[in-house]
Structure 1
Amino acid sequence: MLDTLFSRLKEALWPGSEVVALPMMDGALKPNRRLDDAAPIGEALPGCDDLLALDDGSVLVSAGRQVLRLSGPALGERALWCDCPGTVGALAAARDGTVYAAIAGAGVVRIEQGRVGARLEQADGQPLRCVTALAVLPDGRVAIAEGSSINLPDDWTRDLLERRAHGRVVVASADLSSASTLVSGLAWPDGLLLRGTSLWVSEAWRHRVQSLPLAGGAATSVLHNLPGYPARLSADPDGGAWLSLLAVRTQLLEFVLRERAYREQMLATIDPQHWIAPSLRATGHYLEPLQGGAIKKLGIVKPWAPPRSYGLVLRLSGKGEIVDSLHSRAAGTHHGITAALRRDGRLLAVSKGSGRLLDCAVEDLR
């Protein structure tokens, strides 16, 4: 009752403050089929999550408890590169070839020549249980994004529905012997990218990318009011960047996020796979929540429907402007993009929703 009264008072004092205006998918964001038209590389990779290009031309992919090495023509050869002590997520490499990997619930490990070495399990006395992104700084230190201090990586939808902002960015020494918090109070930071003397940080639940000075000081906005939930960032040889998005926002979900009592009851009583929440893939289950207009009478999904899952990668200029995008719409299959990487004139993208590594055609910016 108090929530209702407060909402009514807020609307009376600040008319229109509760209006949810989602950004238009137009211009550089115009929907297309470029992710669905992309060629899958090899067989499916269940649990695939992140990509890392090595100097020898091969690519590392995290999938489940393994890091796989893809090499050869069209990356058609696969081999186990490292067997890790838990589910592997984010990857990053130092100049000397050392690889850092995020382990769900267990922090970060240092991998040399395919063998797990040093580990970092806490920073400032708090455990690192939900590492979502990694970046190696010019001095060899490692920047670590922790999505939440409460929920694990697979519980990202719960974190969103609980309206959490318990994420942080941590900086650790190269040997992982020490670490300290650079900034806290973030709403699921899910991507890191070094840009000069600053660090770009994607903040999923606030739909934005911010630039954080490594020397200290206030963060500045790079992108805001994005159409979805931004995930990992990677550099582009043209000087820009690539930003993958977990899913896109909808009016239905934006409405649900404003109704605390409804969300709390839904979280307590409904199976998680049937929550009104974004997803990495559509299950097709008859209990799956749908928004009006999503299904035709013959059961065919409209590509323009309000989607529960979606595939989206954004190309950014050096100033952070959106200049191009690749989509897999509601009727598509390559949803839940968690990472994208430019390599040899092609874009490699991880569709965690379909368990596929995609080879996408892109053009150089003129």
Structure 2
Amino acid sequence: MTLSESLVRLRYRFFPDHVVGEILGKKWIDSIIPFMALVVLIAIFGSIVPRFFELSTLANLSGQTAELGLIVLGLTIVMVSGGIDLSVGSTFALAVLATLYGMNVGQWSFGTGLVATLGVGLACGAVNGFMVGILRMRAFLTTLVTLIIFRSIFEIVFPQVSTEIVTSYPDSPLYDYLGMGRFLGTPVTFLVFAVIAIALHIVLSRGRYGWRLLAVGGARRSAYNAGVNVRLTVFSAYIVCSMMVALAGFFFASRIGSAASDIGAGLELQALTATVLGGISLGGGRGSVAKALMGTVFVLILSNSLLQLAVPGPVNDFVLGLVLVAAVFLDVRWVKNRHKILRSVYISPTFNKMPPSVSTESGSPMAPNDRLRQVGVIGLGILDGAEDVIFDRNDNLYTGSRHGDILRWFPPDYTRHEVFAHIGGAPMGMTFDEAGNMAVCIGGMGLYQITPSGEVSLLTAETNRSLTSVADDSSMKLADDCDILPDGRIIFSEATVRFEMHDWYADALESRGNGRLIVYDPKTKSTRTILSNLVFPNGVCTSYDGQSVLFAESWACRINRYYFAGPKTGQVERVIEGLPGYPDNINRASDGTYWLALMGMRTPALDLSLEMPDFRRRMARRVSEDAWLMPNLNTGCVLRFDEQGRILESYWDLGGQKHPMITSMREHKGVLYLCGIFNNRMGTLALPDADPNWCGVDTYWRKPA
């Protein structure tokens, strides 16, 4: 390796550019802008507003935060579900009126007053929720109308009872303590608000109801297709919102003890500014409690500081309006361009110099030929996306389907088939355990098990998180191929932790060690990663020695051996280096050797570009994906090799007429069966010298008597 190549390799090893994309891909990155805006606001007004950082000022701010914060959280729930509620100010006014009349005039108990106030919120929310959620009316226009209606009700009733409210006083120590009490110097209302905010955070981020809200707001049609009751979810969101607004009104009434005719006027502007500024998307499906709280504090600090600086109320509203316009602009632009920005920095190619290719000249075992040209065909036009093939002891053949099905084909001619099980996702590699249960890797979903009767269950979809990983790599993105170990554990590959299945070509462009080898133990139901930083690990096959496993690294064009038992436990050895194509699945052969599928061939242009990371980065940013340099997947090949890594023979279809891409093959009773994830058929090739009674499952487990 030259000095320049060494420097480039070191540069990409110690300064990994992909970290930038992983940071920008974090969920909390959306909170950076409102957080920085809040810091700047505190710095500005903290230096010009008298007594800004005094305890009394902070205590007063926390009390107001409890009231406005509840309104903002309620509005957040509605906006997350894809709606909007412009009537929060009018609902707040009705709630304050109900509280003051009940507690001051009616001399209600604390519990009665609270229930009555929440009942007002429930009624207002039910009106909005019924029209928007059930009748599917436009949220903006509907809540604009109810804003006027609720405000009109307040203005009709308030003059009739205002005198009684002012001249009467509540007789409830608990009510007085709620409004004026302090616990360790903190207003009681703020502590109650904090508990509610934490509970709501858990619901939105961990609860089923929160997931439904996000699903409805993000893609209403998809949520409906997934079984979510969209109308009921939207209806409930408006009810929860109005009840939280009513609770804020109860807090406000207990603190102020009176009300003016303009109570709640303009409150919807403050609440909407706080939610949008905090990063709650106007389009729905995106938002959190933390973002809502940042927006709330920002609006309160801005409003209070302007008032202390003797800025007139109309100017205050004008400033809030400008902030809202800026927040909406940023929200729209960010939502529209976030994916583009992230995509431009997320793909981060690294230096990867490929070794010289194994010779394919005439006379060598890898010499191109047309031995696959005349193979038989199974399932022409029926199969779609069969990545792997496997047989049970009864000669039944199993393949996956692009539609998420596992198909079972019946001997002897394999023309009849049935859907053995439906899982979803993209079925990839398969293996059988001693009891006849099938383990199957599902791209984007994890490792699943199918019993002989067709019952499906999830084995694992998570593994231990890497300590040095910026992104959370505990969830599996692309479980690829699997095999069974002698003790019953399942070892499988995850091709990449950075890209989803439909973005596999981006991983090829990076040629970075994004993959890993994982072991699942059905006895302890535990999952752990045993090897990381692998270059698109693909095929996995337990070797005959019972102590090691062979696995392929596709973009590195090599086969490795990992020892899981014996004196070399934990060691990795190179078995084949410099393959002329990209290795995929590996399976046992009847003579003690191994079959290997090459899903495509290397090209000089792509090999050369792997030594130029900057070129590939510019290509990813400036050229459409269909024009990227790609692995050549139009010419597939199957080869056979022994324990020492010697290639013994190869089978090609140079014209690509029947099997342009081969991802897997399986020998069974003298016939080699070929699969390709992009092919619409399966191939059969008779092997004259193979054992006609050989079944791969019997080489793992003793054949029943």
- SS state of the match for residue 48, structure 1? coil
Aligned pairs, number: 328
- Cα 1:8–1:43 change in 2 (3 A) is closer
Give the residue type in structure 2 aligned to 1:171.
V
Relative to its length, the structure with more strand (as a share) is 1
Amino acid at match of 1:243: L
Q: CA deviation at 1:276?
A: 1.4
- 2:463 equivalent to 1:110: no
Distance 2:676 2:618 in 1: 31
CA 1:179–1:252: 2 relative to 1, 3 Å:
same
* Range that drifts further, 70-79 or 195-204: 70-79
**SS of equivalent to 2:387:** strand
Distance 1:238 1:98 in 2: 26
> Where do 5+ consecutive residues of structure 2 fail to align?
9-351, 466-473, 692-705
- Which residue of the partner structure matches residue 375 of structure 2? 38
Determine if the alignment matches structure 1 residue 156 to structure 2 residue 517: no
1:85 paired with 2:424, answer yes
- What is the aligned partner in structure 2 of residue 180 from structure 1? 528
Secondary structure of 2:502's counterpart equals helix
Aligned partners of 2:513 and 2:601: how far apart in 1? 19
- State the SS of the aligned residue for 2:615: helix
Q: Tell me, in whole angstroms, the C-alpha distance in 1 between the residues paired with 2:460 and 2:411.
A: 33
Residue 53, structure 1, aligned to residue 391, structure 2: yes
Q: Once the 2 structures are TM-superposed, how far is the Cα of residue 9 of structure 1 from its aligned partner?
A: 8.2
Aligned-pair distance for 1:20?
Answer: 6.5
Q: Give the C-alpha shift of residue 140 in structure 1.
A: 0.8
**Highest CA radius of gyration, 1 or 2?**
2
Between the aligned partners of 1:19 and 1:219, the Cα distance in structure 2 is 19
- Give the conservation status (yes or no) of the 8 Å contact 1:107–1:121: yes
Seen in structure 2, the aligned counterparts of structure 1 residues 148 and 75 have a Cα distance that, compared at 3 Å, is same
Partner AA of 1:55 in structure 2: R
The structure in which a higher percent of residues are helix is: 2
Q: How does 1:305-320 map to 2 (within 5 A)?
A: 309-320=634-645
Q: Is the 8 A contact 2:603 2:632 kept in 1?
A: no
Choose which of 662, 670, 682 in structure 2 pairs with 1:357: 682
Secondary structure of 1:73 counterpart: coil
Query: After superposition, where does 1:214-233 map in structure 2 within 5 Å?
Result: 214-215=564-565, 216-233=569-586
Question: In structure 2, how many angstroms separate the alpha carbons of the residues matched to 1:241 and 1:78?
Answer: 28
Q: Distance in 1 between matches of 2:367 and 2:627?
A: 29
Q: What secondary structure does 1:140 align onto? A: coil
2:651 matched to which residue of 1? 326
SS at match of 2:428: strand
| Secondary structure at the counterpart of residue 352 of structure 1 | coil
Cα distance change on mapping 1:355 and 1:270 into 2, 3 Å: farther
Pick the aligned partner of 1:256 from 604, 609, 615. Answer: 609
1:125-169 residue CA offsets vs partner (Å, 9 max, x unmatched): 411111111011111110011111111233322111112202111
The equivalent residue for 2:701 is none
Whole-Å Cα distance in 2 between the matches of residues 20 and 265 of structure 1? Answer: 24
Amino acid at match of 1:109: Y
Are residue 123 (structure 1) and residue 452 (structure 2) matched? Answer: no
1:29 paired residue among 350, 354, 366: 366
Equivalent residue letter for 2:492: I
1:229-308 aligned within 5 A: 229-280=582-633
Check the 8 A contact 1:20/1:254 in 2, yes or no.
no
Would you identify which runs of 4 or more consecutive aligned residues in structure 1 move more than 4 Å? 7-10, 17-20
AA of the residue aligned to 1:116: V
The one-letter code sitting in structure 1 at the alignment partner of 2:681 is: R
State the TM-score, normalized to the length of structure 2.
Answer: 0.44
1:93-128 per-position Cα deviation (integer Å, ceiling 9, x unaligned): 111011111122111111112121233110114111
Q: Which runs of 5+ in 1 are unaligned?
A: 11-16, 281-308
Contact persistence 1:211–1:222 (CA under 8 A): yes
- Give the 5 Å matches for 1:1-16: 6=4
Moved more, 232-241 or 172-181: 172-181
Distance across 2 between alignment mates of 1:206 and 1:337: 18
Query: Structure 1 vs Structure 2: percent identity of aligned residues?
Result: 26
Instruction: Calculate the aligned-residue CA RMSD, in Å.
Output: 2.3
Give the C-alpha shift of residue 333 in structure 1.
Answer: 4.3
Distance 2:586 2:680 in 1: 19
Of the two structures, which has the highest relative contact order with CA contacts closer than 8 Å and spacing of 6 or more?
1
Larger CA deviation: 319-328 vs 338-347: 319-328
Q: Distance in 2 between matches of 1:319 and 1:35?
A: 26
- How far apart are 1:180 and its partner, in Å? 0.9
Residue 70 of structure 1: which of 380, 392, 409 is its match?
409
What's the CA shift for 1:176? 7.7
* Superposition deviation, residue 217 in structure 1: 3.0
TM-score relative to the length of structure 1: 0.84
Post-superposition offset of 1:356: 1.7
Partner letter of residue 321 of structure 1?
R
Q: 1:341 to 1:20 in 2, by over 3 A?
A: closer
